[in-house]
Amino acid sequence: MNCRRVISVLLFSGMTFTSFGIFVSGAISSYDYSGSTKAEDWSIRMTDAVLFRLPHYLTYDSTMDWNYEEGVLLHAIWKVWQKTSDRKYFDYVKKSIDYYITKDGKIKTYDLKKFRLDDIASGRVVLELYKATKEHRYREAAMLLRRQLEEQPRTKEGGFWHKKIYPDQMWLDGLYMAEPFYAKFAEMFNEPLDYEDIARQFILMAEHARDSNTGLFYHGWDASKSEKWADPQTGDSPTFWGRAMGWYMMGLVDVLDYFPRNNPERGKLVEIFKRLSSSLLKYQDKRTKLWYQVVDKKGEKGNYLESSASSMFAYAFAKGANEGYLPKKYLDAAEAAFAGLIRYYVVVDSEGNPTLINTCAGVGLGGKPYNDGSYTYYVSVPRRNNDFKGIGPFILAALEIERALKR
């Protein structure tokens, strides 16, 4: 039921929201909130807000670097184009990608030799554009990204390093960044031998990063067990960060779109997905139906319900149920989570544009200054509003829930 009400939103300590990724001081503010919690009212609404605020290109600022954050949101906008056939969404995605890709297929600001899996994430949209337009430059750009995967440094067991600067480290994030592109490329260019390699990446993290007590996955795994944040026995980082598992879940459920039904590795991936879904369901907050920044530490000082991880889990659960990997209770959980996001973490400005609040801005492991992967580190990272890493999964969750409702 549509409703109109004014709600007071208690934002995170010392911050309220403005537009894309900007922080200002404050504590409590009232916002005019209107609309329903039904998904079909929000996939287009949130996408249109992106186009309203950033009408020319999808970027946070003027630096315009090729990056994964744009990739996840452009993928979501592409899905809205597929749903609506409204040309403005197609044109927006194309214009944003075209800023980077030259006529001969080179990618501005991209450096293959840095071997960052993050840089692969936008490649899935590049493949979609090539499929739709047959423009040669998109094919060349996709081939360049595929070459990175061919040359990417690996652990002894064949796992992709997350970046060249992090030897022997696999992060859950990287499974979303690289594998959906890798799988779609294999499908489009008929490279069936790649599926075993794709599956290997997910299986390695399921074997090495999974905690046997909770069933949750640690953010990172160091195969060498030499990094300061790594457990000397397991090589795992110490914390169950929500969005890291969200990346893994989204990457896994998306890769299955391209995996052949008769591939022997497919069943293994479905079982990993089902098992992690079961573990995550146990940690869904009973009141709000959302998930915490550090998933297993409800009630501990500084922890908070985080919007990007909650959107990712809602998407993965809804899509998993739609595809038959998960039973209906996961679709119910996804719908409840989405309603919780609307109720607690979506605010609407005077022009009717929604803002998604309380998204963790970004984290890493190691680096300079050094991030030790501790609980204290994850809950101290700044939070951002209208963060692409939150909006993209939010739109995808809305689309999957709408798909279920239409059925």
Residue with tokens 């896994």: 252
CB 89 within 8 A of CB 80: yes
* Dihedral angle over CA of 75, 80, 83, 86, nearest 10: -120
Identity of the residue numbered 299: G
Query: What is the pLDDT, as a whole number, of residue 36?
Result: 52
- The pTM (predicted TM-score) of the whole model is 0.91
Mean pLDDT, each 10-residue run in order, the chain (407 residues): 32 35 29 45 94 89 85 98 96 97 96 98 98 98 98 98 98 98 98 97 98 98 98 98 98 97 96 98 98 97 98 98 98 97 94 94 93 97 96 98 88
Give ∠ CA 303-205-175 in degrees, rounded to 5: 80
Structural tokens at position 112: 């293959």
Task: Parse the chain into domains and list their residue ranges.
Answer: 36-406
Q: What is the model's pLDDT at position 405? A: 87
CATH architecture label of 36-406? Alpha/alpha barrel (1.50)
DSSP 246: H
Please tell me the predicted confidence (pLDDT) of residue 72: 98
pLDDT at residue 350, as a whole number? 86
Contact 294, 241 (CB under 8 A): yes
Looking at residue 39, its pLDDT comes to: 55
Which pLDDT score, from 0 to 100, does residue 26 have?
26
Give the pLDDT score at 407: 75
Question: What residues are annotated to the active site?
Answer: 173
